[in-house]
Amino acid sequence: LQFLVKSSTYLYVLPFSGTCKKTQQLSREQKLLAINVSPSLIQYLSYNLNFLSVLVGPCNNYNEYTDFIEGKHISRRLRQHTPTCNGQNGYSVSPQLSPLKAVCCKLLVCCSCMLIFLTVTRFLPIKYNVDKVFVANAHFLTRLTYAFFSIQAARPKFYFAWTLADAVNNAAGYGFQGMGGNGKPSWDLISNINIVGIETATSFKTFIDNWNIRTGIWLKMVCYDRAPKYRLPLTFILSAMWHGVYPGYYFTFLTAIPITLAARAIRRSIRHYFLGSRALKLGYDVLTWVATQLAICYTVMPFLLLKVEETIVFYRYILTIYLCCNLSSVRTL
């Protein structure tokens, strides 16, 4: 259902950009993605019920999908790098670019994530964060440490699902992004996750940008770029509504609004003071990484707990950091 919501709204927003808006009103990205001709019923059903993505995603825009179906996906991407190449079919010449290496690497990541999930995650259950005995007897730092590691242990299941979905699309020949800076083909066009980017994120925004990437692109296109004002709050609220009706989703995304705004303000205000030397920059990166992980801990926990009662129990015993983060965010703004 979530996938169908995204693909259906793509088919509403992109034709609007292509047929209703003036060209000069469109951004470069909107011009590339705009749908100039409404799809037929078969095209509509094919896009919405694409068996490669209908269960886990990732969601792709209509033009990219039709290029793949019509055999223009790779050639169009190559043309962006070598515009002088012309093939006898009217498209750029497409060398034999095999996704085998990319698929094998992603399947290896899947196996690693599954192994971690089956071994580590089972010993660090999220629900233990609200266990009455644990929260009543454990020291504050112990609870905070457990929250950090339990959230870390909860990520591999998401890594597994999204990386496997990406590998399936690549195996079908879909997902070629172009030639990378090293001259090698990149198959990350519809990747939904950047594990390294997430684990090394030094800001809340960087974490979000590397998590559920295709949904972030969709939210930007259908809400952030179109809202006349209050773009960030409206985008987070839409994200909560899209995820479902569990209260934990709303706790997470409403809390993320002041955190994101405060992180922006702090970065603009102090980051330039730490760029004078490599040592200062390293210290800044370490400090912001720790701050980001703490913010993720208390922001994302309701998303995993889902229920109001459990969320309140968690925040009651992590009240110090909860109040500090929220009050600091508001004060910064």
Catalytic position from the list 192, 243, 272, 326: 243
87 pLDDT higher than 50: no
243 is catalytic: yes
* DSSP SS3 for 178: strand
Of 326, 298, 328, nearest to 311 by C-alpha is: 298
Confidence of residue 14 (pLDDT cuts 50, 70, 90): low
Q: What is the mean pLDDT of residues 119-143?
A: 88
* Identified catalytic residue from 48, 60, 212, 272: 212
pLDDT of the residue at 18: 44
Q: Measuring CA to CA, how many Å separate 308 from each of 82, 134, 243, 298?
A: 55, 19, 16, 14
Most confident of 63-67, 178-182, 296-300, 325-329: 296-300
Closest CA to 107 of 153, 68, 159: 159
State how far the Cα of 250 lies from the Cα of 227, in Å rounded to an integer: 20
What pLDDT is stored for residue 13 in this prediction? 66
Please say whether the beta carbons of 276 and 251 come within 8 A. no
pLDDT tens per residue, range 144-160: 899 999 999 999 999 99
Indicate if the pLDDT at residue 232 is higher than 50: yes
pLDDT at position 84 over 50: no
Closest alpha carbon to 60 in 168, 160, 158? 168
> Does a cis peptide bond (omega within 30 degrees of 0) precede residue 58?
yes
Report for 8-12, 87-91, 155-159, 267-271: range of highest mean pLDDT: 155-159
pLDDT of residue 323: 57
- How much is the pLDDT for 115? 93
Residues of the chain with pLDDT > 90, as a percent, come to 33
Helix (H) or strand (E) holding 151: helix 140-171
More confident: 321 or 233: 233
At 190, is the secondary structure helix, strand, or coil? Answer: coil
pLDDT category of residue 7 using cuts at 50, 70 and 90: confident
Active site residue 212: yes
pLDDT of residue 15: 52
